[in-house]
Amino acid sequence: MPELRLPALQVLDLSNNQWAGGLEPLSGCTALQSLRLSSNELTGTLAPLHGLTGLTELNLAANRLTGSLEPLRPLTRLRLLLIPNNRAMRRGLTGGLEPLRGCTALACLFLTLTLALALTLALTLTLPLTRSSPASSCPATRSRAPLSRSRAVRGCGC
């Protein structure tokens, strides 16, 4: 993905474009509110998203991302988080859901469970998922990419 120097950019949708590489080129897009990069060939960790604290919608489904959810901890405005089907050499995203505790606006959560995530989910998931409107209005359920193949945690109440 080419480096983006667009500090005023609020919405970026590059889904289904065969983009490859890491998320580093996005670190300068500090005004982003909606980031949709599903169904690409993105690799690396979520670390470059750490400073994008204005994000309310993040869709990274069907890529090859690895590592933990820790870089998402400061993204407290997130309402929609879709990160299922991220597999790189069978590793994919790992760790627990603790980093999402501060995401008090989170209304829709879809992720593929690795064994570590599944155990953590069963023991500690206490996200403040809220119901604000019918499920048909949820951007995740209207998504073009099918989510049914993943073992998704469906906490969507929007």
Q: Evaluate whether residue 146 is within a structural domain.
A: no
Model pLDDT, residue 113: 56
Model pLDDT, residue 134: 40
Q: Evaluate whether residue 147 is within a structural domain.
A: no
The two structure tokens encoding residue 17: 């474009």
The two structure tokens encoding residue 146: 């099918």
Q: Evaluate whether residue 23 is within a structural domain.
A: yes
Model pLDDT, residue 124: 43
Angle at 3 between CA 97 and CA 47, to 5 degrees: 20
Model pLDDT, residue 126: 44
Query: What is the layout of strands, in order, in the sheet containing 80-83?
Result: 11-13, 34-36, 57-59, 80-83, 108-111
**What is the residue-level pLDDT of the chain in tens, covering all 158 positions?**
678 889 999 999 999 999 999 999 999 999 999 999 999 999 999 999 999 999 999 999 999 998 899 999 999 999 999 998 887 656 677 778 889 998 999 999 888 755 445 444 544 444 454 444 444 445 554 444 433 333 344 444 44
As a whole number of angstroms, the distance between CA 108 and CA 4 comes to: 27
Q: Evaluate whether residue 28 is within a structural domain.
A: yes
The total of structural domains in the chain comes to 1
Q: Is 146 exposed, middle or buried (0-12, 13-18, 19+ CB in 10 A)?
A: exposed
Q: Evaluate whether residue 21 is within a structural domain.
A: yes
The two structure tokens encoding residue 22: 């890491």
Domain containing 92: what range? 11-137
- One-letter amino acid of 76: T
Q: Evaluate whether residue 98 is within a structural domain.
A: yes
The total of other beta-carbon atoms located within 10 Å of residue 105's CB is 14
As a whole number of angstroms, the distance between CA 77 and CA 86 comes to: 23
Model pLDDT, residue 151: 37
Q: Which residue has the tokens 């879809």?
A: 110
As a whole number of angstroms, the distance between CA 105 and CA 56 comes to: 8
Model pLDDT, residue 132: 42
Q: Evaluate whether residue 116 is within a structural domain.
A: yes
User: Which CATH number do you get for residue 61?
Assistant: 3.80.10.10
Model pLDDT, residue 90: 60
